[in-house]
Amino acid sequence: MKTGEVKIINQGLEDEMEVWGYQPCLWKRILVGMGVVCTGGLLLLLLYWLPEWGVKGTCTHTSVRDAHTLLLRSTDEFKQWFRARVHVMLAPGGKPFDSLDLKPKAQLGKGEHGIGAADEEVRGKFAHRQPDEIHYFTHHSTKYYWNDVIQNFEFYKGLEDLKVSCASIHSDHSSGLSKTLQEYRALFFGENEIAVRVPSIFILLIKEVLNPFYIFQLFSVILWSAEDYYYYATAIVLMSVISIATSLYTIKKQYVMLHDMVAAHSVLRVSVCRGNKDIEQAMSTELVPGDVIIIPANGMIMPCDAVLTHGTCIVNESMLTGESVPVTKTSLPSSGEEAASSYDMEEHKRHTLFCGTQVIQTRFYAGELVKAVVVRTGFSTEKGQLVRSILYPKPTDFKLYHDAYLFLLCLVGVAGIGFIYTIILSIMNKVPAKTIIIESLDIVTITVPPALPAAMTAGIVYAQRRLKKVGIFCISPQRINMCGQLNLVCFDKTGTLTEDGLDLWGIQRAEDGRFSPPESEVAKESLVNSAFVACMATCHSLTKIEGELSGDPLDLKMFNATGWILEEPTEEETALHNPIMPTVVRPPKHTVPEANQNNPLTQNMELSELSSCEIGIVRQFPFSSALQRMSVVVRRLGEKHMDAYLKGAPEVVASLCKQHTVPQSFTETLETYTRQGFRVIALAHRQLESKLSWHKVQSLSRDLIETNMDFLGLIIMQNKIKEETAGVLQELRQANIRTLMVTGDNMLTAISVARDCGMIRSHEKVIIADAVPPKDLHPASITWRYTDNPAPTNRDSQTVEIHLEEEEEVCDRQVALQEQSYHFAVSGRSFAVITEHFPQLIQKLVLRATVFARMAPDQKTQLVEVLQSIDYTVGMCGDGANDCGALKRAHSGISLSELEASVASPFTSSTANISCVPNLIREGRAALITSFCVFKFMALYSIIQYLSVTLLYSILSNLGDFQFLFIDIAIILIIAFTMSLNPAWKELVWRRPPSSLISGPLLCSVLTQIITCLVFQVLAFLLVRQQSWYETWTPQSDACNVSSSGLSLNVTSPHDHKNIKNYENTTLFYVSSFQYLAVAIVFSKGKPFRQPSYKNWPFMLSCMCLYTFLLFIMLYPVPAIDNFLEIVCVPHDWRVTLVIIVTVNAAVSFMLEVANDRWGPSFLSWLFCRNNKPPTVRYMHLALELQDDADWPPKPSTVTCASDPQSRVSNPL
């Protein structure tokens, strides 16, 4: 295939794919049809499992433009294949945002894929135009349209595709669409609905049953039925039916849950503007990008993503952010610098109403409606993308499952040898053809155990049940095993390591360019008239919902500390006034008894003395995480001028103030607080010109107001660490699990919290990597700032700059077994610069970085990906949907929020602290070890039975139907399902369980047990034939000097012709039955990852019952049982000999396993000369590589300039 014929779609995005085009080919289809008939439908199944074969086998290659069928392959590490059918649509324009009036008439081309009824409808609607043919295909609920200009398929997000500025949304898109234009856009964007179709049970059943494993089971059942092994066939069918039913119930339940989650806002009636004045009622499913909708005063659940152009909304965004705090959304700026910038959903999220979020209240101008322009619809919305990620998850890439398939392939290889051996042996003994076919195929079903997946799943199901008991809920059970391999956990800070809320510690006001002493009380009378308290009382986004103050917890704490009262206008008051009726704040009425505070008469009496304190909030500029600040414009009652108040990150606020008003000790004071872990907020004030009118203020841009301010001082908030945090982090450290903090908070606060909770210990240095992008002629550089000295130091006292060309030498070292003496701390801005300009450095930096501060949500996801790229198995623990991407991307994400946003997280904890993390890892380790135990046991079960059957085939015998049944049901199923019940070990240990089935010690363990079983089976088989009483068994045989009357009833047994009853069969049945039990006990390991087996009473009880039963029937034969199991009577001496054989066998198995556990790894390393081989995991390899690097970490006394290839050394300032 020529590379030129490949197209890339979604380039640079997470779901990037390669596309090839194909046309149907008649002769290939005929050939495939003949193949399907000849193979009895097996070829069809194979093409269903491998879509790339299906397409290549029935189609010929063509250009993507002319394709009828497309073959898609994801470009990620999974390389998944998909097929998609190309459809043709008729539309009066080529793109959704084309103007219908300006476009010239298009000639109607020949549609090779036919024109349907829907296209006829299009002709009817747009009869005045010749329609265009548009090729498109649908993949994972997204439609891709062919674009002739770029010669590729593309998908349309929504209004953002036009790259519109904020000002043009106001000027060009705020009046609404005509009905014709709306119908035209609907052709491209489809119905505005996140359609989660719940598949019927029949469709789910077909998909489940067509699993390769169930097909193999079907083949096994048909084969056993042909051999009259009805009982075991029935047992397997029953087990499969239970397994399929459970699986269908789980899948159906998840679909229904997801459907219910999106159904709330799927279909509702909305008011839509058609042109300037017309308003019509429409269904939300008819909305398209560009429509203008009216938000009702009593709120609504948003059916789409829309940007506010008029008015203000209070919105509950818990569905998206995981935080149930109402957020104030303001209208998109229409003038100023911000209005000129292109609209970006992430950048302008404070003006955007997201799909699925609840609008609680609206505020509006008199006579004006609250309007919003639809930006995205359906699966393009934020919520739609969340649902898509759940509907079409990426496969979990875990070595265990990959190895399991390799192991099964080995078993298939062994089965192949048995298959050939059986055929040759049968032909030599002139066995009938039918028997040859059945017996040779039977060896395959014996070697590849049909009960394997059910047994493997059992351990995970039990672990899931135990997790549920400790309040951890799991939607992706396969990830429980992954938790057992975690060696690094990232923690969010606020709400995860620390308490959610902040407590006000105190304030430090600034007067005349210097700080006053800190004060703990804000609500004292001497401060009532101060600008500082006025700023605290007004600069927030609080609102009253049903009489309760609601909003950001930080704002609430600040406002409540002042003791002031907030009053909001009612709808009637708003309608009566032409200007906005402002929200009013006033100090408490100390002179009036509490009970009379709301009495209107009392209020009038007090008005004169309180008039100077009452403040109306005229305009809000909401908090922006990009700007790190918020501001308000207010007017005191009775004053002609207005005031602006600002609060935000101290560094940002100080930069917007007049320099002489900022105290000289600002930097030192701020560092003193942040080092102690306090959250510091700065306040500022500015008196505005008296000529500013109400209306003028509404259209002013925030840049004009937030400048030239007077610095007022600092508010110091305390963020307490949760009491469980330090203990859990200590436990993880002892278990050799690395911990990181990833937060949106201030750097020094984050470092302080990391020290307080033990993530960074007191004697360890912290090096802040401060990177700046290239500017003017200066290249990108990194400045390293050492913060090991607890006393405040000059920020620039110790610097090292990294040269771009030398970045390969600038690396990190980590030796897993040695203590860290230093940690790096990186900010979000530095992380972005280092990722772009120092790509080789990023992996080496994250090797020893512990604190990541001021990180945006997408940067958290990037960090997880970087850590995974150096072979860490990453866990992520967070409390909200700003961690949503990272929670999904990590190998194991655990959300501490039970809100809807956490639906994408594999694990959700009902306890809102990090104590769930060790629990999850312990259960993961136990489940992983259980998976290994069960896999090894099931592999040995197959091989033991294979050995027995192969030995019996040599004398043209076999195991009996009821012998198979007893082994498979009474021994194997009971043992496999009870050996998984060992609970997790009570503490986390230093070493981790192996991650691979194809590892030396594990294979060594399996091979030694196979050889042991083989030796003892062959020994018993040969020994029985050497006995003096041995003869070819007949119903009249009397080897044990017992009357044959009890057995003579079986002369005409239907199984006689199969030669089941003989001494070899009886001997091997006894020996192999004890071997199954011996390997089960040997493989069922306890400490250090699971509780010991003697605490697993169902397993112990099963083993004891089976041992007792087998010993009893062996030493004291019961004719009825012997008859049932088709075993023959042997002399008592031989029975004693068998007891000795199975006892020695068990002892040898046990000793070999103990020896393998103790000396296996070191012996294998010595045998294959691997002692000095470098580690395979990348982070260990990097650590060893840098262990002797004397230039790392960078010395504080050297400076390397990026522009100069020669190093220029200078002393610290």
Distances (CA, A) of 183 to 136, 287, 489, 693, 754: 18, 9, 50, 43, 56
Counting runs of H as helices and runs of E as strands, what totals does the chain give? Answer: 39, 42
Task: Please tell me the distance from the alpha carbon of residue 1184 to that of residue 248, in angstroms, as a whole number.
Answer: 49
Distance of alpha carbon 441 from the chain centroid = 43
Alpha carbon separation from 898 to 70, 273, 441, 548 (Å, rounded): 41, 38, 51, 24
State the Cα–Cα distance between residues 165 and 174, nearest whole angstrom.
13
Q: Is 15 a catalytic residue?
A: no
Closest to 186 in 3D by CA, of 92, 268, 103, 294: 92
Task: Report how far residue 343's alpha carbon sits from residue 334's, in angstroms, rounded to the nearest whole number.
Answer: 11
**Facing residues of 281 across strands?**
271
How do beta strands 69-74 and 81-85 pair? antiparallel
Element holding 17 (H helix, E strand): strand 17-24
Is there a contact between 326 and 548 (Cβ–Cβ < 8 Å)? no
Evaluate whether 913 touches 897 at the Cβ level (below 8 Å).
no
Q: What is the DSSP letter of 620?
A: E
Tokens linked to 1112: 């009893």
What angle separates helix 916-953 from helix 433-447, to the nearest 10 degrees?
160
- Active-site annotation holder among 132, 403, 492, 879: 492
Ordered alpha helix ranges (H), 501-649 = 531-538, 553-562, 571-576, 600-610
Length of the chain: 1213
The phi-psi region of residue 354 (left if phi > 0; otherwise alpha if psi is between -120 and 50; otherwise beta) is beta
Chain centre to alpha carbon of residue 11: 22
Determine the Cα–Cα distance for residues 778 and 264; give it in Å rounded to an integer.
54
State the residue for tokens 């199991």: 1125
Q: Locate all alpha helices (DSSP H) within 39-154, ordered by sequence.
A: 42-49, 51-58, 117-125
**Which residue type, as a one-letter code, is found at position 956?**
L
| Dist. CA 564–CA 556, nearest whole Å | 11
Name which of 373, 353, 354 is nearest 362 in CA terms. 353
Q: What angle do CA 332, 334, 339 make, to 5 degrees?
A: 85
Query: Which of these, 853, 851, 874, lies nearest to 737 by C-alpha position?
Result: 874
Q: In what order do the strands lie in the sheet with 371-376?
A: 278-283, 269-274, 292-294, 371-376, 305-310, 352-353
Query: CA neighbours within 13 Å on the CB side: how many for 928?
Result: 26
CA 24/CA 46 separation, integer angstroms:
19
Active-site residues: which are they?
492
